[in-house]
Chain A
Amino acid sequence: MGAISLIALLVAAIAFSAGGILIGKILVKGSTNPQKGQPYECGIPTNTSPWHQFNVGYYLFALLFLIFDVELVFLYPWAVVVKKVGIIALIEIIIFIFILFMGFLYAHKKGALKWS
Protein backbone atom coordinates (compact mmCIF):
# COMPACT_ATOMS: atom_id res chain seq x y z
CA MET A 1 0.00 0.00 0.00
CA GLY A 2 1.07 3.56 -0.56
CA ALA A 3 0.80 6.77 1.41
CA ILE A 4 -2.93 6.23 1.83
CA SER A 5 -2.12 3.69 4.52
CA LEU A 6 -0.95 6.57 6.74
CA ILE A 7 -4.40 8.15 6.49
CA ALA A 8 -5.93 4.78 7.33
CA LEU A 9 -3.68 4.47 10.39
CA LEU A 10 -4.55 8.01 11.51
CA VAL A 11 -8.25 7.17 11.20
CA ALA A 12 -7.63 4.00 13.19
CA ALA A 13 -5.87 5.95 15.97
CA ILE A 14 -8.64 8.56 16.19
CA ALA A 15 -11.38 5.90 16.06
CA PHE A 16 -9.68 3.84 18.76
CA SER A 17 -9.13 6.77 21.15
CA ALA A 18 -12.48 8.45 20.52
CA GLY A 19 -14.30 5.12 20.76
CA GLY A 20 -12.72 4.30 24.10
CA ILE A 21 -13.45 7.73 25.57
CA LEU A 22 -17.04 7.70 24.23
CA ILE A 23 -17.78 4.25 25.67
CA GLY A 24 -16.46 5.50 29.00
CA LYS A 25 -18.68 8.60 28.80
CA ILE A 26 -21.79 6.53 28.01
CA LEU A 27 -21.24 3.92 30.72
CA VAL A 28 -20.25 6.22 33.56
CA LYS A 29 -22.76 8.24 35.57
CA GLY A 30 -20.49 10.79 37.25
CA SER A 31 -21.41 12.89 40.26
CA THR A 32 -20.50 16.56 40.51
CA ASN A 33 -18.40 17.81 43.35
CA PRO A 34 -16.37 21.04 43.37
CA GLN A 35 -13.35 19.24 44.81
CA LYS A 36 -13.15 16.94 41.79
CA GLY A 37 -12.07 19.86 39.60
CA GLN A 38 -9.07 20.80 41.68
CA PRO A 39 -5.56 19.84 40.61
CA TYR A 40 -4.07 16.89 42.47
CA GLU A 41 -1.43 17.93 44.98
CA CYS A 42 -1.33 15.34 47.75
CA GLY A 43 -4.29 16.79 49.59
CA ILE A 44 -3.05 20.33 50.19
CA PRO A 45 -4.99 23.15 48.46
CA THR A 46 -2.80 24.58 45.70
CA ASN A 47 -1.37 28.05 45.81
CA THR A 48 0.17 29.73 42.76
CA SER A 49 -0.18 28.37 39.25
CA PRO A 50 2.52 26.11 37.80
CA TRP A 51 2.47 28.13 34.58
CA HIS A 52 5.57 30.04 35.57
CA GLN A 53 9.22 30.28 34.61
CA PHE A 54 11.00 26.96 34.62
CA ASN A 55 14.62 25.89 34.99
CA VAL A 56 16.77 27.35 32.19
CA GLY A 57 18.69 24.05 31.99
CA TYR A 58 15.93 22.43 29.93
CA TYR A 59 16.16 25.27 27.44
CA LEU A 60 19.94 24.91 27.04
CA PHE A 61 19.62 21.19 26.37
CA ALA A 62 16.87 21.85 23.84
CA LEU A 63 19.21 24.25 21.99
CA LEU A 64 22.07 21.73 22.02
CA PHE A 65 19.67 19.07 20.78
CA LEU A 66 18.66 21.30 17.89
CA ILE A 67 22.28 21.60 16.69
CA PHE A 68 22.92 17.88 16.86
CA ASP A 69 19.58 16.97 15.34
CA VAL A 70 20.30 19.09 12.29
CA GLU A 71 23.69 17.36 12.10
CA LEU A 72 21.89 14.02 12.20
CA VAL A 73 19.72 15.09 9.28
CA PHE A 74 22.90 15.83 7.30
CA LEU A 75 24.28 12.42 8.21
CA TYR A 76 21.32 10.49 6.76
CA PRO A 77 22.09 11.07 3.05
CA TRP A 78 25.80 10.59 3.78
CA ALA A 79 25.15 7.23 5.45
CA VAL A 80 23.29 5.95 2.39
CA VAL A 81 26.07 6.73 -0.10
CA VAL A 82 29.24 6.34 1.99
CA LYS A 83 29.85 2.78 0.81
CA LYS A 84 29.67 3.80 -2.87
CA VAL A 85 31.64 7.06 -2.66
CA GLY A 86 34.37 5.55 -0.52
CA ILE A 87 37.24 7.18 1.31
CA ILE A 88 36.47 10.78 0.18
CA ALA A 89 33.09 10.70 1.91
CA LEU A 90 34.77 9.48 5.07
CA ILE A 91 37.33 12.31 5.08
CA GLU A 92 34.61 14.87 4.48
CA ILE A 93 32.48 13.60 7.33
CA ILE A 94 35.48 13.50 9.66
CA ILE A 95 36.04 17.23 8.96
CA PHE A 96 32.33 17.90 9.48
CA ILE A 97 32.15 16.01 12.76
CA PHE A 98 35.43 17.58 13.92
CA ILE A 99 34.03 21.11 13.49
CA LEU A 100 30.85 20.08 15.26
CA PHE A 101 32.77 18.44 18.05
CA MET A 102 34.77 21.63 18.62
CA GLY A 103 31.46 23.45 19.12
CA PHE A 104 30.37 20.72 21.48
CA LEU A 105 33.60 21.05 23.49
CA TYR A 106 33.07 24.83 23.61
CA ALA A 107 29.57 24.34 25.00
CA HIS A 108 30.98 21.87 27.51
CA LYS A 109 33.72 24.34 28.55
CA LYS A 110 31.14 27.10 28.98
CA GLY A 111 29.24 24.85 31.37
CA ALA A 112 26.16 24.29 29.20
CA LEU A 113 26.16 20.61 30.11
CA LYS A 114 26.24 21.25 33.85
CA TRP A 115 22.95 20.83 35.68
CA SER A 116 22.56 23.48 38.35
Chain B
Amino acid sequence: MFSLEGITTAVQDWLFIKFNPTLALAIECVIVILLAITLFAGLGLVLVLMERKVAARIQIRLGPNRVGPGGMFQTVADTLKLIMKEGLTPDSADKFLFNLAPFIVMMVAMLLLAPIAFAKNFQIWDINIGVLYISAISSLSVIGILMAGWASNNKYSLLGAMRSGAQIVSYELSAGLAVLTIVVLTGSLQISEIIAAQQNGWWIFKGHIPAVIAFVIFIIAVTAETNRAPFDLAEAESELTAGFHTEYSGMKFALFFLAEYINIFIVCAIGATLFLGGWMPLHIGSWEAFNHIMDYIPSSVWFMGKTFFLIFVIMWFRWTFPRLRIDQLLNLEWKYLLPISLLNLLLVAVIAILGWHF
Protein backbone atom coordinates (compact mmCIF):
# COMPACT_ATOMS: atom_id res chain seq x y z
CA MET B 1 0.00 0.00 0.00
CA PHE B 2 1.32 3.42 -0.92
CA SER B 3 2.09 5.47 2.15
CA LEU B 4 4.37 8.33 3.08
CA GLU B 5 4.94 6.93 6.56
CA GLY B 6 8.17 5.04 6.07
CA ILE B 7 9.74 7.23 3.42
CA THR B 8 11.39 9.84 5.59
CA THR B 9 13.13 7.41 7.92
CA ALA B 10 14.17 5.19 5.00
CA VAL B 11 15.67 8.12 3.11
CA GLN B 12 17.45 9.38 6.21
CA ASP B 13 18.91 5.96 7.07
CA TRP B 14 20.09 5.45 3.50
CA LEU B 15 21.70 8.91 3.35
CA PHE B 16 23.53 8.49 6.64
CA ILE B 17 24.87 5.05 5.62
CA LYS B 18 25.99 6.21 2.18
CA PHE B 19 27.54 9.60 3.02
CA ASN B 20 29.26 11.30 5.93
CA PRO B 21 26.89 13.19 8.29
CA THR B 22 27.57 16.71 6.96
CA LEU B 23 26.98 15.74 3.35
CA ALA B 24 23.88 13.75 4.29
CA LEU B 25 22.47 16.77 6.10
CA ALA B 26 23.23 18.97 3.08
CA ILE B 27 21.44 16.54 0.77
CA GLU B 28 18.46 16.50 3.15
CA CYS B 29 18.38 20.28 3.01
CA VAL B 30 18.32 20.20 -0.78
CA ILE B 31 15.46 17.66 -0.69
CA VAL B 32 13.51 19.88 1.74
CA ILE B 33 14.05 22.93 -0.50
CA LEU B 34 12.87 21.08 -3.61
CA LEU B 35 9.85 19.57 -1.84
CA ALA B 36 8.83 22.92 -0.33
CA ILE B 37 9.04 24.71 -3.69
CA THR B 38 7.10 21.92 -5.40
CA LEU B 39 4.45 22.01 -2.67
CA PHE B 40 4.13 25.80 -2.99
CA ALA B 41 3.73 25.72 -6.76
CA GLY B 42 1.35 22.76 -6.66
CA LEU B 43 -0.80 24.16 -3.87
CA GLY B 44 -1.01 27.53 -5.58
CA LEU B 45 -2.27 25.94 -8.78
CA VAL B 46 -4.76 23.65 -7.03
CA LEU B 47 -6.17 26.15 -4.53
CA VAL B 48 -6.78 28.95 -7.04
CA LEU B 49 -8.60 26.54 -9.32
CA MET B 50 -10.54 25.13 -6.36
CA GLU B 51 -11.56 28.63 -5.27
CA ARG B 52 -12.89 29.45 -8.74
CA LYS B 53 -14.69 26.13 -9.10
CA VAL B 54 -16.30 26.36 -5.65
CA ALA B 55 -17.36 29.95 -6.33
CA ALA B 56 -18.83 28.87 -9.67
CA ARG B 57 -20.78 25.96 -8.14
CA ILE B 58 -22.20 28.18 -5.39
CA GLN B 59 -23.32 30.73 -7.98
CA ILE B 60 -24.70 28.01 -10.29
CA ARG B 61 -22.19 28.60 -13.08
CA LEU B 62 -19.59 26.31 -14.61
CA GLY B 63 -16.42 28.22 -13.77
CA PRO B 64 -13.23 27.85 -15.82
CA ASN B 65 -13.80 25.07 -18.36
CA ARG B 66 -11.80 25.95 -21.48
CA VAL B 67 -8.13 25.19 -20.76
CA GLY B 68 -7.55 21.46 -20.41
CA PRO B 69 -10.15 18.86 -19.37
CA GLY B 70 -12.75 20.61 -17.20
CA GLY B 71 -10.60 23.74 -16.97
CA MET B 72 -7.86 21.90 -15.06
CA PHE B 73 -4.99 23.92 -16.54
CA GLN B 74 -6.62 27.33 -16.13
CA THR B 75 -4.28 28.37 -13.32
CA VAL B 76 -1.22 27.20 -15.30
CA ALA B 77 -2.30 29.53 -18.10
CA ASP B 78 -2.88 32.32 -15.57
CA THR B 79 0.57 31.84 -14.10
CA LEU B 80 2.16 31.99 -17.55
CA LYS B 81 0.26 35.21 -18.22
CA LEU B 82 1.47 36.70 -14.91
CA ILE B 83 5.08 35.77 -15.68
CA MET B 84 4.84 37.59 -19.02
CA LYS B 85 3.58 40.77 -17.35
CA GLU B 86 5.87 43.68 -16.60
CA GLY B 87 6.66 44.27 -12.91
CA LEU B 88 6.22 47.98 -12.36
CA THR B 89 7.61 50.02 -9.46
CA PRO B 90 6.02 53.45 -8.95
CA ASP B 91 8.48 56.36 -9.16
CA SER B 92 7.47 57.74 -5.78
CA ALA B 93 7.63 54.39 -3.96
CA ASP B 94 10.23 53.39 -1.40
CA LYS B 95 11.98 51.05 -3.86
CA PHE B 96 13.88 48.91 -1.38
CA LEU B 97 10.92 48.16 0.90
CA PHE B 98 8.60 47.81 -2.11
CA ASN B 99 10.74 45.00 -3.53
CA LEU B 100 11.46 43.44 -0.14
CA ALA B 101 7.79 43.01 0.91
CA PRO B 102 6.90 40.04 -1.36
CA PHE B 103 10.01 38.22 -0.12
CA ILE B 104 9.00 38.69 3.52
CA VAL B 105 5.47 37.43 2.88
CA MET B 106 6.82 34.37 1.08
CA MET B 107 9.42 33.68 3.78
CA VAL B 108 6.76 33.70 6.51
CA ALA B 109 4.54 31.33 4.53
CA MET B 110 7.49 29.01 3.87
CA LEU B 111 8.73 28.98 7.48
CA LEU B 112 5.28 27.94 8.69
CA LEU B 113 5.65 24.64 6.83
CA ALA B 114 8.32 23.42 9.25
CA PRO B 115 6.22 21.98 12.12
CA ILE B 116 3.24 20.72 10.06
CA ALA B 117 2.81 16.94 10.09
CA PHE B 118 1.73 15.99 6.57
CA ALA B 119 1.54 12.28 7.40
CA LYS B 120 2.70 9.86 10.05
CA ASN B 121 6.41 10.58 10.67
CA PHE B 122 6.38 13.04 7.79
CA GLN B 123 7.34 16.34 9.31
CA ILE B 124 10.18 18.70 8.47
CA TRP B 125 11.03 19.60 12.07
CA ASP B 126 9.12 18.24 15.07
CA ILE B 127 10.02 21.27 17.21
CA ASN B 128 9.06 20.85 20.88
CA ILE B 129 7.39 24.28 21.04
CA GLY B 130 5.52 23.78 17.77
CA VAL B 131 2.32 25.66 18.67
CA LEU B 132 4.26 28.65 20.03
CA TYR B 133 6.47 28.62 16.93
CA ILE B 134 3.42 28.73 14.67
CA SER B 135 1.83 31.69 16.47
CA ALA B 136 5.17 33.51 16.62
CA ILE B 137 5.95 33.13 12.92
CA SER B 138 2.42 33.73 11.66
CA SER B 139 2.31 37.10 13.44
CA LEU B 140 5.30 38.20 11.32
CA SER B 141 3.21 38.20 8.14
CA VAL B 142 1.66 41.53 9.15
CA ILE B 143 5.10 43.14 8.75
CA GLY B 144 5.24 42.18 5.08
CA ILE B 145 1.73 43.53 4.48
CA LEU B 146 2.38 46.83 6.28
CA MET B 147 5.67 47.15 4.41
CA ALA B 148 3.96 46.64 1.05
CA GLY B 149 1.21 49.13 1.84
CA TRP B 150 3.53 51.78 3.20
CA ALA B 151 6.22 51.51 0.52
CA SER B 152 3.75 51.76 -2.38
CA ASN B 153 3.08 55.43 -1.62
CA ASN B 154 -0.53 54.99 -2.65
CA LYS B 155 -3.56 55.92 -0.57
CA TYR B 156 -5.44 52.73 -1.28
CA SER B 157 -2.41 50.64 -0.34
CA LEU B 158 -1.79 52.49 2.88
CA LEU B 159 -5.43 52.27 3.97
CA GLY B 160 -5.55 48.57 3.10
CA ALA B 161 -2.34 47.89 5.01
CA MET B 162 -3.55 49.79 8.09
CA ARG B 163 -6.84 47.94 8.15
CA SER B 164 -5.04 44.68 7.61
CA GLY B 165 -2.65 45.42 10.45
CA ALA B 166 -5.44 46.23 12.92
CA GLN B 167 -7.40 43.19 11.82
CA ILE B 168 -4.57 40.65 11.91
CA VAL B 169 -3.23 41.70 15.31
CA SER B 170 -6.73 41.76 16.82
CA TYR B 171 -7.80 38.35 15.61
CA GLU B 172 -4.46 36.82 16.50
CA LEU B 173 -5.47 37.07 20.16
CA SER B 174 -8.57 34.92 19.92
CA ALA B 175 -6.83 32.50 17.54
CA GLY B 176 -4.06 32.14 20.12
CA LEU B 177 -6.54 31.59 22.96
CA ALA B 178 -8.43 28.99 20.92
CA VAL B 179 -5.18 27.14 20.26
CA LEU B 180 -4.34 27.32 23.97
CA THR B 181 -7.46 25.31 24.88
CA ILE B 182 -5.97 22.36 23.01
CA VAL B 183 -2.62 22.94 24.70
CA VAL B 184 -4.38 22.82 28.09
CA LEU B 185 -6.10 19.55 27.17
CA THR B 186 -2.91 17.96 25.84
CA GLY B 187 -0.35 19.48 28.19
CA SER B 188 2.22 19.82 25.43
CA LEU B 189 3.19 22.29 22.72
CA GLN B 190 4.68 19.64 20.44
CA ILE B 191 2.63 18.88 17.32
CA SER B 192 3.41 15.15 17.33
CA GLU B 193 2.28 14.81 20.96
CA ILE B 194 -0.91 16.75 20.28
CA ILE B 195 -1.69 14.34 17.43
CA ALA B 196 -0.76 11.30 19.52
CA ALA B 197 -3.18 12.46 22.25
CA GLN B 198 -6.02 12.21 19.72
CA GLN B 199 -5.51 8.54 18.95
CA ASN B 200 -8.77 7.42 20.57
CA GLY B 201 -10.78 10.41 19.37
CA TRP B 202 -10.26 13.88 18.00
CA TRP B 203 -10.24 16.82 20.42
CA ILE B 204 -13.36 18.32 18.87
CA PHE B 205 -15.25 15.18 20.00
CA LYS B 206 -13.33 14.49 23.22
CA GLY B 207 -13.15 18.03 24.58
CA HIS B 208 -16.89 18.52 25.15
CA ILE B 209 -18.41 21.96 24.44
CA PRO B 210 -15.28 24.11 25.09
CA ALA B 211 -13.42 22.40 22.25
CA VAL B 212 -16.31 23.08 19.87
CA ILE B 213 -16.45 26.74 20.94
CA ALA B 214 -12.68 26.99 20.51
CA PHE B 215 -12.92 25.42 17.05
CA VAL B 216 -15.58 27.90 15.91
CA ILE B 217 -13.57 30.84 17.30
CA PHE B 218 -10.42 29.49 15.64
CA ILE B 219 -12.11 29.25 12.23
CA ILE B 220 -13.51 32.79 12.52
CA ALA B 221 -10.17 34.17 13.66
CA VAL B 222 -8.09 32.52 10.94
CA THR B 223 -10.57 33.64 8.30
CA ALA B 224 -9.87 37.18 9.49
CA GLU B 225 -6.15 36.60 9.82
CA THR B 226 -5.80 35.44 6.24
CA ASN B 227 -7.82 38.46 5.02
CA ARG B 228 -10.57 36.28 3.59
CA ALA B 229 -14.12 37.43 2.99
CA PRO B 230 -16.22 38.37 4.98
CA PHE B 231 -13.19 39.97 6.66
CA ASP B 232 -11.44 41.03 3.44
CA LEU B 233 -11.37 44.72 4.35
CA ALA B 234 -7.68 44.93 3.56
CA GLU B 235 -8.27 44.23 -0.12
CA ALA B 236 -11.92 45.18 -0.45
CA GLU B 237 -12.15 45.40 -4.25
CA SER B 238 -15.12 47.74 -4.29
CA GLU B 239 -13.58 50.37 -2.02
CA LEU B 240 -9.78 50.03 -2.18
CA THR B 241 -9.27 48.55 -5.69
CA ALA B 242 -6.89 45.88 -4.35
CA GLY B 243 -5.77 47.10 -0.94
CA PHE B 244 -2.14 46.71 0.02
CA HIS B 245 -1.06 45.18 -3.31
CA THR B 246 -2.68 47.78 -5.59
CA GLU B 247 0.69 48.88 -7.01
CA TYR B 248 2.11 45.41 -7.49
CA SER B 249 2.08 43.78 -10.89
CA GLY B 250 3.59 40.80 -12.66
CA MET B 251 5.42 38.19 -10.58
CA LYS B 252 5.48 40.33 -7.42
CA PHE B 253 1.69 40.39 -7.43
CA ALA B 254 1.68 36.66 -8.11
CA LEU B 255 3.84 36.11 -5.01
CA PHE B 256 1.35 37.99 -2.80
CA PHE B 257 -1.50 36.06 -4.34
CA LEU B 258 0.27 32.74 -3.85
CA ALA B 259 1.24 33.56 -0.26
CA GLU B 260 -2.39 34.32 0.53
CA TYR B 261 -3.51 30.89 -0.65
CA ILE B 262 -0.60 29.14 1.04
CA ASN B 263 -1.53 30.88 4.29
CA ILE B 264 -5.08 29.57 3.98
CA PHE B 265 -3.71 26.07 3.50
CA ILE B 266 -1.40 26.41 6.50
CA VAL B 267 -4.00 27.72 8.93
CA CYS B 268 -6.42 25.01 7.81
CA ALA B 269 -3.69 22.42 8.29
CA ILE B 270 -3.09 23.73 11.81
CA GLY B 271 -6.82 23.66 12.56
CA ALA B 272 -7.04 20.11 11.24
CA THR B 273 -4.03 19.10 13.35
CA LEU B 274 -5.22 20.62 16.60
CA PHE B 275 -8.95 19.96 16.49
CA LEU B 276 -9.50 17.20 13.93
CA GLY B 277 -6.59 14.95 14.78
CA GLY B 278 -4.11 15.69 11.97
CA TRP B 279 -3.26 12.47 10.21
CA MET B 280 -5.09 10.32 12.81
CA PRO B 281 -7.84 8.16 11.30
CA LEU B 282 -11.37 8.42 12.66
CA HIS B 283 -11.68 5.96 15.55
CA ILE B 284 -14.90 5.27 17.41
CA GLY B 285 -14.55 3.81 20.91
CA SER B 286 -14.79 0.03 20.81
CA TRP B 287 -15.85 -0.50 17.20
CA GLU B 288 -12.88 -2.74 16.41
CA ALA B 289 -13.80 -3.57 12.80
CA PHE B 290 -14.62 0.04 11.92
CA ASN B 291 -11.35 1.30 13.42
CA HIS B 292 -9.44 -1.36 11.54
CA ILE B 293 -10.96 -0.37 8.21
CA MET B 294 -10.20 3.31 8.90
CA ASP B 295 -6.56 2.41 9.58
CA TYR B 296 -6.24 1.19 5.99
CA ILE B 297 -6.69 4.71 4.61
CA PRO B 298 -3.19 6.26 4.42
CA SER B 299 -2.45 8.99 6.96
CA SER B 300 -1.58 11.53 4.27
CA VAL B 301 -5.05 11.11 2.77
CA TRP B 302 -6.62 11.76 6.18
CA PHE B 303 -4.55 14.89 6.68
CA MET B 304 -5.20 16.30 3.21
CA GLY B 305 -8.87 15.42 3.40
CA LYS B 306 -9.39 17.30 6.66
CA THR B 307 -7.33 20.27 5.50
CA PHE B 308 -9.17 20.58 2.22
CA PHE B 309 -12.50 20.25 4.00
CA LEU B 310 -11.59 23.26 6.17
CA ILE B 311 -10.38 25.17 3.11
CA PHE B 312 -13.73 24.44 1.47
CA VAL B 313 -15.53 25.77 4.54
CA ILE B 314 -13.53 29.01 4.41
CA MET B 315 -14.29 29.36 0.69
CA TRP B 316 -17.94 28.72 1.47
CA PHE B 317 -17.91 31.65 3.94
CA ARG B 318 -16.77 33.97 1.19
CA TRP B 319 -19.90 33.40 -0.90
CA THR B 320 -22.30 33.34 2.04
CA PHE B 321 -21.59 36.39 4.21
CA PRO B 322 -21.42 40.08 3.22
CA ARG B 323 -18.33 42.10 4.07
CA LEU B 324 -18.15 43.75 7.53
CA ARG B 325 -17.30 47.38 8.24
CA ILE B 326 -14.07 48.06 10.13
CA ASP B 327 -15.88 49.09 13.34
CA GLN B 328 -18.11 46.01 13.21
CA LEU B 329 -15.03 43.87 12.64
CA LEU B 330 -13.17 45.27 15.64
CA ASN B 331 -16.33 45.13 17.79
CA LEU B 332 -16.79 41.46 16.96
CA GLU B 333 -13.26 40.68 18.10
CA TRP B 334 -12.88 42.90 21.16
CA LYS B 335 -16.39 42.78 22.58
CA TYR B 336 -17.39 39.21 21.77
CA LEU B 337 -14.67 36.82 20.65
CA LEU B 338 -11.97 37.89 23.12
CA PRO B 339 -14.08 37.66 26.35
CA ILE B 340 -15.71 34.45 25.12
CA SER B 341 -12.38 32.82 24.37
CA LEU B 342 -10.93 33.90 27.74
CA LEU B 343 -13.89 32.36 29.60
CA ASN B 344 -13.69 29.31 27.37
CA LEU B 345 -10.03 28.86 28.32
CA LEU B 346 -10.91 28.90 32.03
CA LEU B 347 -13.73 26.43 31.42
CA VAL B 348 -11.44 24.06 29.57
CA ALA B 349 -8.90 24.34 32.38
CA VAL B 350 -11.59 23.21 34.86
CA ILE B 351 -12.50 20.29 32.62
CA ALA B 352 -8.86 19.29 32.16
CA ILE B 353 -8.10 19.43 35.90
CA LEU B 354 -11.21 17.47 36.90
CA GLY B 355 -10.61 15.00 34.09
CA TRP B 356 -14.07 15.35 32.60
CA HIS B 357 -12.88 14.97 29.03
CA PHE B 358 -12.68 11.48 27.56
Partners in one complex: yes
Question: Which residues of A line the B interface, CB within 8 A?
Answer: 1-18, 20-21, 23-25, 27-28, 30, 36-42, 46, 49-51, 54-55, 57-58, 61-62, 64-65, 68-69, 72, 75-76, 79-84, 86-87, 89-90, 93-94, 97, 101, 104, 108, 113, 115
**B173, CB-defined interface residue at 8 Å:** yes
**B32, CB-defined interface residue at 8 Å:** yes
Is B187 within 8 A of A83, CB to CB?
yes
Is B114 within 8 A of A27, CB to CB?
no
**B72, CB-defined interface residue at 8 Å:** no
11 contacts between A and B (CB under 8 A): A5-B29, A5-B124, A8-B36, A16-B110, A23-B251, A51-B150, A57-B166, A65-B169, A69-B169, A72-B177, A81-B187
**In the complex, A57 Cα to B135 Cα: how many Å?**
25
**B86, CB-defined interface residue at 8 Å:** yes
Find residues 308-358 in chain B having any chain A CB closer than 8 Å to their own CB.
326-327, 330-331, 334-335, 338-339, 342, 345-346, 349-350, 352-353
**In the complex, A65 Cα to B345 Cα: how many Å?**
18
| Known A-B contacts A17-B103, A37-B91, A64-B334; A6 and B114 likewise in contact (beta carbons under 8 Å) | yes
Among A18, A39, A87, the residue within 8 A (CB) of B92 is A39
| Known A-B contacts A41-B154, A61-B330; A75 and B345 likewise in contact (beta carbons under 8 Å) | yes
Is A38 within 8 A of B90, CB to CB?
yes
What residues of A have a CB within 8 angstroms of the CB of B29 in the complex?
A: 4-5, 7-8, 11
What residues of A have a CB within 8 angstroms of the CB of B135 in the complex?
A: 72
Is A27 within 8 A of B83, CB to CB?
yes
What residues of A have a CB within 8 angstroms of the CB of B125 in the complex?
A: 1-3, 5-6
Is A50 within 8 A of B155, CB to CB?
yes
Is B37 within 8 A of A15, CB to CB?
yes
Find residues 46-71 in chain B having any chain A CB closer than 8 Å to their own CB.
none
Given contacts A28-B87, A72-B176, A87-B353, 4 further A-B contacts (CB under 8 A): A5-B125, A9-B33, A39-B247, A94-B346
Is B154 within 8 A of A40, CB to CB?
yes
| Known A-B contacts A82-B349, A82-B353; A9 and B32 likewise in contact (beta carbons under 8 Å) | yes
What residues of B have a CB within 8 angstroms of the CB of A87 in the complex?
A: 353
| Known A-B contacts A21-B87, A24-B85, A41-B154; A5 and B32 likewise in contact (beta carbons under 8 Å) | yes
Is B84 within 8 A of A27, CB to CB?
yes
What residues of A have a CB within 8 angstroms of the CB of B353 in the complex?
A: 82-83, 86-87, 89-90
Chain B window 188-222, contacts with chain A (Cβ cutoff 8 Å), 1 for yes, 0 for no: 11000000000000000000000000000000000
Is A9 within 8 A of B176, CB to CB?
no
**B97, CB-defined interface residue at 8 Å:** no
**In the complex, A38 Cα to B83 Cα: how many Å?**
22
Is B331 within 8 A of A80, CB to CB?
no
Is A16 within 8 A of B37, CB to CB?
yes
Is B110 within 8 A of A13, CB to CB?
yes
**In the complex, A57 Cα to B325 Cα: how many Å?**
14
**Smallest Cβ distance from A10 to chain B, in angstroms?**
6
What residues of A have a CB within 8 angstroms of the CB of B157 in the complex?
A: 50
What residues of A have a CB within 8 angstroms of the CB of B91 in the complex?
A: 37-38
**In the complex, A65 Cα to B252 Cα: how many Å?**
30
Among A42, A86, A90, A113, the residue within 8 A (CB) of B331 is A113
What residues of B have a CB within 8 angstroms of the CB of A76 in the complex?
A: 132, 180, 183, 189
What residues of A have a CB within 8 angstroms of the CB of B170 in the complex?
A: 61, 65
Is B184 within 8 A of A82, CB to CB?
yes
**B111, CB-defined interface residue at 8 Å:** yes
| Known A-B contacts A21-B252, A80-B187, A101-B342; A115 and B111 likewise in contact (beta carbons under 8 Å) | no
